[in-house]
């Protein structure tokens, strides 16, 4: 295997992981953009998405390609309930800073809650999720990719296009953009802010579930799988800029490929600190984050 092909292999691996990061980060970004909620438990919704898919395949023998959208729907409903009964009671029109802080702390509580609930239901050990595509390997020259990994990229493209269409071309999307821009004004203009918030949270959660269901077969399904990724999703959002679908895609792929290459050529798979370092440096360079506007009003 020559060096160029090795290099391409790492880039491809990074592209796959990056697609997963992008899906996860898009949901997080959508929820933040519309509701200004920093949902730290987004990684746990990703984890639950993976487990629901896993359970449908292993216990109910539902085909993977049916189980995945079903898991997205189930998690979407669950996300809507979370928004309605956990996050909305903390909405505070007089003090947005307090609202953000409280919602952030609640989401930290949810992180603990979901992780151990998953551990109680499915056990603490990582589970292998098998799909009909397990074992199918595509090969171009010396560069290889399993079909399960390729599916992450394909589904990411499909879902991102769908999301883009939803945001740009539908009435709901327009309402979401209006609420993202200015909640109070949107409310005055007759946008049903609470309904839009619930739906945004549902859609964001569904994207997390999709990411979980897709990444599950490639990596293991474990209660801590979301906690390991959430920091990276934040890096992606800050890297790409809030609310920008293309920024998030660019950020996700950039982080995935950088990590893959740095891990391969330099740090010997010690990629964990990269996320931490990036988040520190990025926020240092742009002190209020790339979505600084929000902070100033808060």
CA dist 103 and 87 (Å) reads 6
Residues from 137 through 166 that contact another protein (CB under 8 A): none
Q: Which helix (H) or strand (E) holds 139?
A: strand 137-140
Looking at 16-24, 51-59, 214-222, 278-286, which segment touches another protein (CB under 8 A)? Answer: 278-286
Tokens of 145: 């990719």
> Does residue 234 bind another protein (CB under 8 A)?
yes
> Does residue 220 bind another protein (CB under 8 A)?
no
List 22, 115, 202, 205, residue binding another protein (CB under 8 A): 115
> Does residue 25 bind another protein (CB under 8 A)?
no
Interacting residues of 204 by C-beta distance below 8 A, sequence separation 6+: 26, 27, 28, 30, 31, 39, 42, 79
Closest CB 109 distance from another protein, rounded Å: 3
Quickly tell me which residue has 């060096």 as its tokens.
Answer: 3
User: 223 - beta bridge partners?
Assistant: none
CA dist 281 and 56 (Å) reads 41
CA dist 178 and 187 (Å) reads 9
* Nearest residue (CB) to another protein, 173 versus 224: 224
Helix 3-35 vs helix 42-58: crossing angle, to nearest 10: 110
Looking at 7-15, 168-176, 213-221, 281-289, which segment touches another protein (CB under 8 A)? Answer: 281-289
List 226, 251, 252, 275, residue binding another protein (CB under 8 A): 275
Residues from 66 through 95 that contact another protein (CB under 8 A): 86, 89-90
> Does residue 127 bind another protein (CB under 8 A)?
no
> Does residue 102 bind another protein (CB under 8 A)?
yes
Produce one character per residue of 154-181: b if its CB has 16 or more CB atoms within 10 Å, e if not.
ebbeebbeebeeebeeeeebebbbbbbe
> Does residue 117 bind another protein (CB under 8 A)?
yes
Residue 104: count of CB within 10 angstroms of its CB: 14
Closest CB 17 distance from another protein, rounded Å: 19
* Nearest residue (CB) to another protein, 120 versus 140: 120
Classified as helix, coil or strand, 273 is: helix
Which of 168, 165, 38 is closest to 97 using CA atoms?
38
> Does residue 113 bind another protein (CB under 8 A)?
yes
> Does residue 190 bind another protein (CB under 8 A)?
no
Looking at 101-109, 131-139, 198-206, 256-264, which segment touches another protein (CB under 8 A)? Answer: 101-109
> Does residue 253 bind another protein (CB under 8 A)?
no
Residues that bind another protein (CB under 8 A): 38, 86, 89-90, 97-98, 100-102, 104-106, 108-117, 119-120, 124, 227, 231, 234, 238, 272-273, 275-277, 279-280, 283-284, 287-289, 295, 298
């Amino acid at each position: 295997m020559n060096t160029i092909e090795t290099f391409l292999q790492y880039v491809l691996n990074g592209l796959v992981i990056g697609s997963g990061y992008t899906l996860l980060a898009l949901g997080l970004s959508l929820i933040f953009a519309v509701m200004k909620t920093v949902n730290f438990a987004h990684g746990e919704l990703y984890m639950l998405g993976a487990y629901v898919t896993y359970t449908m395949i292993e216990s109910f023998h539902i085909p993977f390609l049916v189980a995945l959208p079903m898991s997205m729907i189930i998690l979407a409903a669950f996300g809507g309930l979370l928004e309605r009964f956990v996050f909305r009671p903390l909405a505070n029109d007089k003090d947005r800073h307090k609202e953000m802080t409280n919602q952030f702390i609640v989401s930290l509580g949810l992180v603990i809650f979901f992780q151990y609930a998953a551990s109680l239901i499915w056990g603490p050990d990582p589970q292998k999720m098998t799909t009909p595509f397990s074992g199918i390997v595509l090969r171009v020259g010396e560069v290889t990719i399993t079909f399960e990994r390729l599916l992450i990229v394909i589904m990411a493209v499909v879902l991102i296009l769908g999301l883009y269409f939803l945001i740009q071309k539908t009435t709901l999307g327009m309402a979401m953009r209006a609420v993202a821009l200015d909640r109070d004004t949107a409310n005055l203009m007759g946008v049903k802010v609470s309904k839009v918030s619930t739906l945004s949270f549902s859609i964001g959660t569904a994207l997390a579930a999709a990411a979980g269901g897709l990444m599950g077969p490639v990596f293991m399904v474990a209660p801590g799988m979301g906690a390991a990724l959430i920091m990276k999703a934040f890096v992606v959002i800050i890297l790409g800029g809030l609310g920008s679908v293309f920024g998030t895609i660019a950020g996700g792929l950039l982080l995935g490929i950088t990590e893959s290459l740095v891990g391969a050529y330099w740090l010997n798979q010690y990629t964990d600190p990269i996320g931490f370092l990036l988040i520190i440096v990025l926020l240092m360079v742009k002190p209020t984050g790339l979505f600084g506007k929000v902070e100033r009003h808060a």
